[in-house]
């Protein structure tokens, strides 16, 4: 019996947060399509349609650059993140007639809470918000064509280093 | 293939928290039956069978009144909430012989954590606890006939304004 | 229609955390096989393959002893815990040829956040991390043959009294 779409989404989001929580950033761009939007944006800006974002990448190549910058040039205190994701829900499923293979696109939202642990410190709430995502099906499975991380607060303990 | 009951419940709870997290309080009473119980109650009182609650509504009309009061008469600092819900579990399913349509009632529990963000402040844990719910199936889908929000702590940062 | 493996796991983890959150510790060993490993281990030690653990039990009997010690001999301030679990994912399923009944073993991971509430205090983040579990199917259902609670931080508010 093939998995339901909900089961497939649960698996995808679980794999996504595992990649980030394990710090395997080099694998992170693989969750996206070649042309894509990845954006971290405050809730206020998102709700008012203002474009200003804390992080913006518009292709898988930019995601890879971001990871390279993190690995090679950034200086920051060691920390680990832990994502809890719940209330994954399909908002809309559209056939994409323009796509050569009639690929469908799936609009998905989910709530997340990210906890941060810095060396020799207790764990604290880092950031909560929601994912507003568009997924398309490629040969290797569902990929993020657009992923917006809409933050409830832009004030985070420390600074925003890693993708969410 | 019709969704399993678990999938249906995941969808319902996701829609419920989305309504609250988006601040769309006018839609909130729609999740309930016309006659219903909505109660926010401390864990200690619940466990000992004591009736004292922090919020109590006994019909959809009272829920609507509550929302109207929130919108028109209450004064409070702006804030946003974010719900994470997990461990949704069916405790019992009962046929209801008295119901004209033999409607069944479903007893469900779930754990929740609610995070609060106030203007220009970092996000903090607002409240955690569990939902103790009874659902019935109406023509338009599953509705809450009883929803108890059992709080692990009555001490919350700020005050309890919005429903949980 | 029988539940999918994912649904079965969701139910199992929901029952597990309900047992702990309700403080029904006497039922807790029932989630394990007679010979088992239960370990609470800091992330650093786990990642480096170091064996040092904060709690280690190697049989259901040891789990029962642990509960008895908690109930009868330990002195600690009253508190309650609340578990949120998400991103439950099957890592591997192996047939176990050595098992007389060809029992399979299932490697599962999940993320958790535990919140602690002490008497007359607001709720706080107690600990987050992941479960790294091996499950086997017995006559009475899936049981933990190995359960590792890998903590992101060893610093917790108060002390680690209850199992996670």
What pLDDT digit, counting tens, does each position of B11-65 carry?
999 999 999 999 999 999 999 999 999 999 999 999 999 989 999 999 999 999 9
- Choose among B37, B17, B43: nearest CA to B151: B43
Residue of B nearest to A43 (CA): B80
Q: Looking at the partner chain, which of B88, B152, B155 has a beta carbon nearest the beta carbon of C82?
A: B152
Residue of C nearest to A80 (CA): C152
Residue A112 β-bridge partners: A85, A129
Q: What is the pLDDT of residue A115?
A: 98
Residue of B nearest to C16 (CA): B87
Q: What is the pLDDT of residue A99?
A: 56
Q: Are strands B32-42 and B141-151 parallel, antiparallel or unpaired?
A: parallel
Q: What is the mean pLDDT of residues B84-109?
A: 82
Cα-flanking dihedrals φ and ψ of residue C138, to 5°? Answer: -110, 180
Please check whether residue A86 is in contact with residue C115, taking contact to mean a CB–CB distance below 8 angstroms. Answer: no
Which region among A47-56, A80-89, C94-103 has the lowest average model confidence (pLDDT)?
C94-103
What tokens were used for A17? 């947060």
User: For a pLDDT cut of 70, what percent of chain C falls above it?
Assistant: 95
Higher confidence at residue C111 or residue A78? C111
Cα-flanking dihedrals φ and ψ of residue A131, to 5°? Answer: -90, 130
The model's pLDDT over C122-146, given as tens digits with 9 standing for 90+, comes to 999 999 999 999 999 999 999 999 9
What tokens were used for A117? 């642990």
Distance CA A92, CA A109 (A): 10
How big is chain C, counted in residues?
164
Interchain contact, C124 vs B128, CB within 8 Å: no
Interchain contact, A125 vs B121, CB within 8 Å: no
Interface of A with B in 41-60 (CB under 8 A): 43
Cα-flanking dihedrals φ and ψ of residue B107, to 5°? Answer: -95, 120
User: Mean pLDDT score of chain B, rounded to an integer?
Assistant: 92
Q: What is the pLDDT of residue C114?
A: 98
Interchain contact, A82 vs C130, CB within 8 Å: yes
C115 and B CB contact within 8 Å: yes
Please check whether residue C85 is in contact with residue C111, taking contact to mean a CB–CB distance below 8 angstroms. Answer: yes
C12 and B CB contact within 8 Å: no
Give Rg (Cα) of chain A.
16
Interchain contact, C11 vs B89, CB within 8 Å: yes
Interchain contact, C89 vs A14, CB within 8 Å: yes
CA–CA–CA angle A45, A49, A52 (5° rounding) = 45
How far off is chain C from A49, nearest CA to CA, in Å? 31
User: Mean pLDDT score of chain C, rounded to an integer?
Assistant: 92
The model's pLDDT over C55-68, given as tens digits with 9 standing for 90+, comes to 999 999 999 999 99
Distance CA C35, CA C116 (A): 30
Residue C137 β-bridge partners: C142
How far off is chain C from B54, nearest CA to CA, in Å? 16
B119 and A CB contact within 8 Å: no
A156 and C CB contact within 8 Å: no
Distance CA A27, CA B140 (A): 43
Q: What is the mean pLDDT of residues C26-30?
A: 97
Q: What is each CA distance from C92 to A6, C20, C104, C109, C134, in whole angstroms?
A: 20, 26, 10, 10, 9
Chain C: partners with 3+ C-beta pairs within 8 Å: A, B
Position of tokens 């610093």?
Answer: C155
Residue of C nearest to B84 (CA): C84
A10 and C CB contact within 8 Å: yes
pLDDT at B114 over 70: yes
Interchain contact, A113 vs B84, CB within 8 Å: yes
Residue of C nearest to B6 (CA): C7
Interchain contact, A128 vs B123, CB within 8 Å: yes
Cα-flanking dihedrals φ and ψ of residue C141, to 5°? Answer: 120, -175
Q: Looking at the partner chain, which of C17, C84, C123 has a beta carbon nearest the beta carbon of B153?
A: C123
What tokens were used for B55? 């919020």
Residue C106: CB atoms within 10 A of its CB come to: 19
How far off is chain C from A93, nearest CA to CA, in Å? 23
Interchain contact, C89 vs A115, CB within 8 Å: no
- Choose among A153, A137, A158, A134: nearest CA to A40: A153
Q: Looking at the partner chain, which of C13, C84, C121 has a beta carbon nearest the beta carbon of B153?
A: C121
Angle, in degrees to the nearest 10, between helices B5-21 and A5-21: 60
How far off is chain C from A48, nearest CA to CA, in Å? 31
Q: Which residues in C lie closer than 8 A to residue A124 (C-beta atoms)? A: 125
């Amino acid at each position: 019996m093939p998995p339901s779409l909900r089961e497939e989404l649960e698996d995808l989001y679980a794999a996504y947060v595992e990649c980030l929580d394990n710090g395997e950033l080099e694998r992170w761009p693989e969750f996206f399509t070649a042309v894509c939007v990845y954006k971290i944006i405050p809730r206020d800006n998102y709700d008012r349609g203002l474009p200003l974002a804390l992080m913006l990448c518009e292709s898988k190549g930019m995601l890879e650059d971001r990871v390279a910058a993190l690995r090679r040039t950034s200086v920051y205190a060691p920390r680990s993140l832990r994502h809890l994701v719940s209330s994954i829900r399909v908002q809309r499923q559209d056939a994409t007639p323009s796509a050569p293979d009639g690929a469908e696109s799936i609009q998905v939202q989910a709530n997340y809470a990210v906890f941060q642990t810095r060396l020799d410190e207790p764990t604290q709430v880092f950031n909560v918000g929601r994912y507003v995502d568009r997924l398309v099906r490629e040969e290797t499975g569902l990929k993020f064509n657009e992923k917006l991380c809409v933050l409830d607060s832009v004030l985070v303990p420390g600074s925003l280093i890693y993708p969410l």
